[in-house]
Amino acid sequence: MIEVTHELHFYAQLVEQGPKLEQLMAKIQQEFIANPPLPGSFSPKRGELCAAKFTDGQWYRARVEKVSASKISVFYIDYGNRMVVEVSQCAALPSGFAADKPYAHEYAMACVQLPKDVSTL
């Protein structure tokens, strides 16, 4: 999985870490199937690690970036992408799942310039 930002930064995972990440994701899914979160039991705080559902309906480790009344902006720490989700689609990260360091590693493109946007000339 690669997520490229507009600043020519991107996030990628190391191939050798793939099996560990797959095991972690399987355990997280099993945990949420066995112990689904109680609605309204999670109060997100900026900078806090949590579990957040993605558009595929699966739970992933995320860091809360911004909190509003009913939505929060999260950064998926193992994949490097961001999304705005409903607070109801987030939950406290179960104990033990915060121990692994994030699997997404940030990189930047060197010696590359974006072309000028001709629509603003």
Domains in the chain, CATH or no CATH each: 3-111 (2.30.30.140)
pLDDT for residue 49: 95
CA distances from 59 to 99, 100, 116 (A): 17, 16, 39
Query: Percentage of the chain with pLDDT > 70?
Result: 89
Cβ(61)–Cβ(78) under 8 Å?
Answer: yes
In sequence order, which ranges of the chain are alpha helices (DSSP H)? 18-34
Q: Does position 20 have pLDDT exceeding 80, yes or no?
A: yes
pLDDT confidence of 86, banded at 50, 70, 90? very high
Strand partners for 52: 60, 90
The amino acid occupying position 15 is V
Residues 42-61 have a mean pLDDT of 93
Predicted structure pTM score:
0.81
The amino acid occupying position 21 is L
